[in-house]
Structures are given as structure tokens and as C-alpha cells.
Amino acid sequence: MDKEGYIKWAEAHNMELNMDTVDRILKRLQITEGYCPCVPPDQWTEKHICPCAFCEEDVAKNGRCHCNLFIRKKD
């Protein structure tokens, strides 16, 4: 997914991208072939493909996802 795709996904899920980290995280996602860059490769599963299965819950609970790519939408 490209940056525009992540922006659209975030908007559809009532989130936004963290513009302070987006470019760095997207570069890492290219290296990891879409798997969450915060998870060690030996632990990757389909649930860790970004946006990961834990993203929405993390944003709801913590205001951001684990890798800080997605954040709670500002009012």
C-alpha cells in the first residue's frame, strides 16, 4: 500500500496518519514487505501485515498503534 492508501484506510477507520513518523515507517514497511516493522521477523504472521490486526484496538486504547503510524483522529 502506498501513502495515499494508508491515508484512505486511516480515514475509513476514524484515524489519521502520524505525519511525524509516516515517511520513516513507510520506508521500513518496504523493507519488511508490509509486515509491521516493530515485530521481529520470526514472529510475523498474517495478523502483522500493516495495517495489522491490532491497529484499531491499539489506537482506541492508547491513542496510537504500536509503531506510531496510525493515531487517534484529532477533533
Query: Among candidates 11, 5, 17, which has minimal Cα distance to 70?
Result: 17
Single pTM value for the model: 0.89
Q: Over 90: is that where the pLDDT of 74 sits? A: no
Average predicted confidence (pLDDT) for the chain: 94
Kind of pairing, strands 15-17 and 70-72? antiparallel
Q: Over 80: is that where the pLDDT of 75 sits? A: no
pLDDT per residue over 11-69, tens digit each? Answer: 999 999 999 999 999 999 999 999 999 899 999 999 999 999 999 999 999 999 999 99
With a pLDDT cut of 70, the percent of the chain lying above it is: 100
Within 10 angstroms of residue 44's Cβ, the number of other Cβ atoms is 15
